Structure 1
Amino acid sequence: MNKSEWSDKQLEDLLRQMPKIQDHRNPRDIYQNLSIKKRKRPAWILPGIATAAALLLFFLLVPKMLDGTEYSFDSVKQEESSNEDKISLSKENSSIMMKKEDTIENGISGAEPKMFMTGSNKTGLYDDEVGDGTVITYWIPDSQAQILVPISTVVHPDNNKNWLTIFTETMGLLKEEEWGLTDYYPLNATFKLDNTNNTVIVDVPSDHKFGEGSATETNFIKLLSKNIASNSQVNKIKLTTNGQPGIELGNYGEMDEIEVEPEGKHAYFFYSPDGLETTYLVPSTETYNDINAAFEAMKTDQPALGFVASLVPDFPMKEVTIKENKLTITMDENAAMENNQETVYAYEAILFTAKDFGIETITILNAPIKLLGPFDLSKEMKVPIAPNHRPIQ
């Protein structure tokens, strides 16, 4: 702004020329008005205005804040869920990898046996597991009716029943299909023990089905003989139909009796039913002159019967000697042995094969490891009582 060019004298003369203005108000009123204007505003006015402004801001901003908070919580939840998914996926992948590693380690592929560690890590029945019970072994056809698989269980009868009564009362509790075998029991026959003649009498009804087909007849005769031989010292079976002597079998004609031959001199192999993660120890269909021949046979598969070699490379035997029903196996000093399920079953296959040749105990020398599953290889081992233990309730 430019500086005024008017002098004080000129301004004073100009004001004097302006008309006079008169105020007709009472001087007291003028003084009162001036006093009111000079009074201070009440102290609550400014805080009240500030409070109102704060409330206004609160109502404007809170919804946004809540939206932001909800978004934050959702983000945290999503992140936690994502982390949980990652952890779950990691565990799942780890489990899959462990299963794959187990599969590779145990040689599970194609026709190889499925070797999975179980609670006890063994399949046979041993002295310390029987107690006051009675061991019963049943021979059950596989799903193709090619071989007979021995299944053993321990029964604790309520009273002093003989083995044949226990055998007949328990056969209805077998779970053959669940075990990957043929649903064969209970047999459509009655059994009677003749202690005087050391004979079991098997009576079948006239409409029996045991003579339908050569495989059915052969399995019927074999399993009767094996069942009796595995559970008793009986040496003869008499066959009757409705109480009359003899039973008619298509390919065998009429049979009156079966001579029971004690089991022995077989080699034990691995057998796995299709679709099941189960391995059974099953004796060969043929017998061998000596245990060395049996051990040699156990190194080779028998695919026609579904048998897989049980004497695995992890159990290399350098020398085998027998003295007074005691078997000593000397292993190669440079042998490597893994403590896995396949090797446990291989050891049991050796134990059962030795039992079939009349061996009572086995001693392992130069064992690469001391403990193999539940077995202590540094100690003398008694042969098992029966193969393929399956509890029955």
Structure 2
Amino acid sequence: MANFDQDEHQIEELLRKMPIIRDRQNQEEVYRKVQSRKEHKHKQKRALWIPAATTAAIAIIMVLAVSMVNKEQTKSARGAELSQKNVHLTAANVPQHQVSKKQPVIHQTAGQISDSVKRNQSALSSNKMESAKNQESEDRSAVYSSDLKSHDVYTYGVLTHDAIPVPVSVVVPKSSENWFDKYKQIASQTPKPEWGFDQFFPLKSVLAYDSANQIIRITVYQNQAGFIPESLQLNLDKLVNDSFRYLPVKEAEFKNEKGEPLSIGEIGEVNNVQINKVPKSGYYSYTIGNKSYLVPSDQTFKQLSDALAAMKKSPNDLYHSVFTGGIGVTELNQDGKNVTVRFDRKVDLTKESPKNAMNMIEAILLTGKDFGYSTVTFQNIEPASWNGFHFSKAIEVPVAPNRLEQ
């Protein structure tokens, strides 16, 4: 209230002048409204209290539940301890001869479980290794010495529809069967149509093997000689060499059914073919259908460096260079059966097409093999490990090219 400096008389005068205030409301109506407001406030307080009580109840239930679970776990743990103690106590109270009878059974069961775990672990490890090996085999096109642990390999010279001679190597499960009998058996059963070849040894002939002199005797009936196509006649030496160079064969001899020298079409009498174990060829990529093969060049070279230089360019429309993007390889030095080669620029195999990269590496390895080397050391290449090849050390050359599963 404002503070005025007035006497009491002035205050009384002011009060008399104020208007008279009259309340015309019914007393019962005023009482009802007051009661209604009280009840409304009471309900609001109850509504606010109920959720809080519910939350508190839920919290209490959860605490009790956790407590009960903990008690059950504690009881279970104590029960297990008591059971274990009872086992020991029972075993201690059982006569010694009865214990000795039961112990072997317990030990045997534990041993069986342990052996089972070991077998499972071994199986998993074996499966992982086999899976990695299978993937590695799928990526590679050639046959390697690691394949010979559980497989035998037989290589054949075949002629394609384009009259291109291609060496292909059939891999079969290892057996105790005589290699020459197996060789003839595979030749009669293959190739599969999807491989793109007519037949493996493209002569209707009878084969015999002179093991003492390591000579293959090929008998062709004279009345069949006139049906031998010219393309085969021109590639006969190459096909024979591709077929027997990886086997214990030094020479191939051609005769007719009378034991006389064989005469074929325009070339006349067929001379014996000396098997060249070190043909000194370079390798190129050749595609037929949806399959790609690595094929040796028609030309031979004096030195490995000459072959590597020639491999940078395609010699014809069917052979393609395995070096892409202007990559070149130089022979650095020879150390016994190892030769070191260096790419003229840093090669990152992960940035190349996987198939092109594999063709390049294997073509170099096969070329090294054709010059009589057992290993090839690569320089200026990365990564250090790629598709089973470890370039930090010398790489073993393949056993044979163009792996095929029978």
TMscore range, shorter length: 0.5 to 0.7
Q: 2:292 aligns with which of 276, 279, 283?
A: 279
Greater Cα shift, 351-360 or 202-211:
202-211
Residue identity opposite 1:326 in structure 2: N
In 2: Cα distance, 1:389 partner to 1:245 partner: 36
> Residue 381 of structure 1 is aligned with which of 376, 379, 395?
395
Q: How does 1:1-393 map to 2 (within 5 A)?
A: 120-145=138-163, 147-156=164-173, 158-161=175-178, 163-175=179-191, 177-183=193-199, 185=201, 187-209=203-225, 212-232=228-248, 234-255=249-270, 257-273=272-288, 276-304=289-317, 306-313=318-325, 315-317=327-329, 320-332=332-344, 334-337=346-349, 338-339=351-352, 340-392=354-406
Provide the secondary structure at the position in 2 that maps to 1:342: helix
After TM superposition, the score normalised by the length of structure 1 is: 0.62
Deviation of residue 217 (structure 1)?
Answer: 1.8
CA 1:170–1:250 in 2, change beyond 3 Å: closer, same or farther?
A: same
Matched-pair contact (CA < 8 Å) for 1:315–1:343: no
Considering fraction of residues, name the structure with more helix: 2
* Residues 251 and 324 (structure 1), Cα distance of their counterparts in 2 relative to 1, 3 Å cut: same
**1:159 match: secondary structure:** coil
Q: Matched residues in 1 for 2:222 and 2:154: separation?
A: 28
TM (normalized to structure 2)? 0.60
Q: Is the 8 A contact 2:205 2:219 kept in 1?
A: yes
Q: Deviations over 1:168-204 (max 9, x none)?
A: 1110222253112334557421111112333221112
Offset at 1:331? 3.8
Q: Structure 1 residues 184 and 210 mapped into 2: Cα distance closer, same or farther (>3 Å)?
A: farther
Runs of 4+ residues deviating >6 angstroms: none
Matched-pair identity in %: 23
Secondary structure in 2 aligned to 1:329?
Answer: strand
Aligned pair in 2 of structure 1 residues 193, 335: CA closer, same or farther (>3 Å)? Answer: closer
Amino acid aligned to 1:155:
V
Using the alignment, how far apart are the partners of 1:206 and 1:319 within structure 2?
Answer: 48
Match of 1:47 in 2: none
Which residue identity does 1:288 align to in structure 2?
A: F
What are the superposed Cα offsets for residues 34-60 of structure 1, whole Å, 9 maximum, x if unpaired?
xxxxxxxxxxxxxxxxxxxxxxxxxxx
2:209/2:215 contact within 8 Å kept: yes
Q: CA RMSD in A?
A: 2.6
Distance 2:151 2:250 in 1: 24
Ranges in structure 1 where 5+ consecutive residues have no aligned partner: 1-116
Q: Partner letter of residue 280 of structure 2?
A: K
Number of residue pairs aligned between Structure 1 and Structure 2 = 270
- Quickly say closer, same or farther: Cα 1:373–1:158, change in 2 above 3 A: closer
1:166 shift after superposition: 1.8
Contact 1:237 1:259 (C-alpha < 8 Å) held by counterparts: yes
Q: 1:358 to 1:257 in 2, by over 3 A?
A: closer
- Aligned partner letter, 1:297: A
**How many angstroms apart in 2 are the aligned matches of 1:342 and 1:226?**
24
- The amino acid across from 2:260 in the alignment is P
Instruction: Answer whether contact 1:316 1:335 (CA < 8 A) is retained.
Output: no
Change (3 A) 1:129 1:225: closer
Secondary structure class of the residue paired with 1:165:
helix
